[in-house]
Structure 1
Amino acid sequence: MKVLIVAKAPVPGRVKTRLGARIGHDAAASLAAAALLDTLEACRAAGAEGHLSLAGDLRDAVDNEAISAALEGWTVSPQRGDTFAERLVAAHRDAGTGPVVQVGMDTPHVTAAALTAAAEGLDDHDAVLGPATDGGWWALARRDPEVVRHVAQVEMSTSSTYVDTRAALELAGCRVGHVPAMTDVDTVADADLVAAGWPHTRFARAWRTTAVAR
């Protein structure tokens, strides 16, 4: 199994800006770094080959040394494209052919079992989507990178992104499966929910530190 993470370097002011407006951009970047490290750990636990499609420069990132160490053995490529959907298509092409499970850095509570389930869904489907509770999706698995080009027409970060993405893939002739929903961390309420439900993650520890500072 190969996992593709599409993420931003956790640089203050350039990542988790919605959270940053509430808690400060330095704190938001620290949370993003913790979430990325949690995600990388889940990928390693799944025994996955890894590819990171990155926006920004890790040299400027919070916890850059820890992140660089966690990426040992991974392929890292820069994101390309004007819109997120275009960057997504390019990222999948960079990740190559064969089964790939794509996630972001917004689900620090993702597990090896969840990633494996998405990959196993490709035994019977051309693509597998993991819905997010806000109407988006947290995972996109596929066998052929070219099916993702149909996603470029979908508007991201809306309450209908999951439904629209599934419809676009099905219109292109894909058999689409799904895995259970997860919460993307975009807001303070999301962070509270995920930190309470998965208290032993790096993200939860960072969130508790942020709460004390507030």
Structure 2
Amino acid sequence: MSSSCAGRARDAPTGMTTLLVIAKEPLPGRVKTRLSPPFSAVEAARLAEAALADTLRTVCSLPAARRAVVLDGAPGPWLPPDVEVVEQCAGGLDERLAAAFGACTGPTLLIGMDTPQVTTTDLAPALSTTAWNDCDAWFGPAEDGGFWALGLAEPDPRLLRGVPMSVPETGAVQRRRLVDAGLTVRDLPRLRDVDVAVDAAHVAALAPHGRFAAELARLTRAVAR
């Protein structure tokens, strides 16, 4: 793991994109706390780990100059061998996202760990050989008003610092920040984050063959007993 704030990214080859996943170590009481109830803190952490594993599996199947998880915590068995780990900086989420982009050079796409249903089709437009032709930014809106993906042709931390996070207007404010900076923005599909149990059931139905869906089904059966 890099000992620096977010690790200085290697320069990406021309036409290639750095792919980042921002995540927390899936420890009980630190992740997915809004899943309790009906799930215990331990069960919520298991769901978080499954969501992260599914997300990283999709990331590993996509073309990228570099793949890294920007992690708050320590890596575990969920980490694929070809994905780097870099530390998150301290501070609010806007500062941590800004630092992740600030450590990169060239086109960079960052996604979260809360959308395990994400597919290669969802992400492909921002990773194609023509992804950055006449485009400065990619934006993936979330159903709760936030965003699940953000891509920048030229990473600039100032585009994220000060954006209010985890509020219903987060996505609108972030997208407006990009537009007001004169960037040409293209949109990725709108996805649903896993925050509460209803979200988990909805997302699992969209990706029934993933690890997240399997873990949710197992835990749901246990709760029912």
Q: So what's the TM-score if we normalise by structure 2?
A: 0.86
Measure the CA separation in 2 of the matches of 1:212 and 1:124: 49
Give me the whole-angstrom Cα distance separating, in 1, the residues matched to 2:173 and 2:38: 30
Task: Tell me how far apart the structure 1 counterparts of residues 27 and 211 of structure 2 sit (CA, whole Å).
Answer: 17
Structure 2 residue 54 is the aligned partner of structure 1 residue 38 = yes
Tell me, in whole angstroms, the C-alpha distance in 2 between the residues paired with 1:12 and 1:123.
43
Give the 3-state SS of the residue equivalent to 1:165 in structure 2.
Answer: helix
Superimposed CA distance per residue, residues 71-96 of structure 1 (whole angstroms, 9 cap, x where no aligned partner)? x13221111031000000111122x1
1:157 aligns with 2:166: yes
Write the distance in 1 (CA, Å) between the matches of 2:148 and 2:97.
13
Which residue in 2 is equivalent to 1:138? 148
Q: Which amino acid aligns with 1:101?
A: L
2:125 to 117, 122, 141: 117
* Aligned pairs (5 A) from 1:1-214: 1-48=17-64, 49-58=66-75, 64-65=76-77, 67-68=78-79, 70=80, 72-94=81-103, 96-120=104-128, 121-146=131-156, 148-214=157-223
Higher helix share: 1
Tell me how far 1:20 sits from its aligned partner.
3.2
- 1:21, distance to aligned residue in structure 2 (A): 4.3
The count of corresponding residues between Structure 1 and Structure 2 is 204
Unaligned runs of 5+ in 1: 59-63
1:152 alignment partner, SS class: coil
For residues 53 and 216 of structure 2, the distance between their equivalents in structure 1, rounded to whole angstroms, comes to 14
Kept after mapping to 2: 8 A contact 1:100/1:143: yes
* Percent of paired sites with the same residue: 40
Tell me the C-alpha RMSD between the 2 structures. 1.4
User: Shift of residue 143 of structure 1?
Assistant: 1.1
Residues in 2 aligned to 1:180 and 1:57: alpha-carbon distance in whole angstroms: 31
Q: Distance in 2 between matches of 1:22 and 1:4?
A: 31
CA contact (8 A) 2:123 2:188 kept: no
Q: Contact 1:133–1:184 at 8 Å: present in 2 too?
A: yes
Q: Extract unaligned runs of 5+ from structure 2.
A: 1-16
Q: Is the 8 A contact 1:19 1:28 kept in 2?
A: yes
User: TM-score when scaled to structure 1?
Assistant: 0.90
Which segment drifts farther, 5-14 or 116-125? 116-125
The residue identity in structure 2 corresponding to 1:144 is E
- 1:22 Cα deviation after fit: 3.4
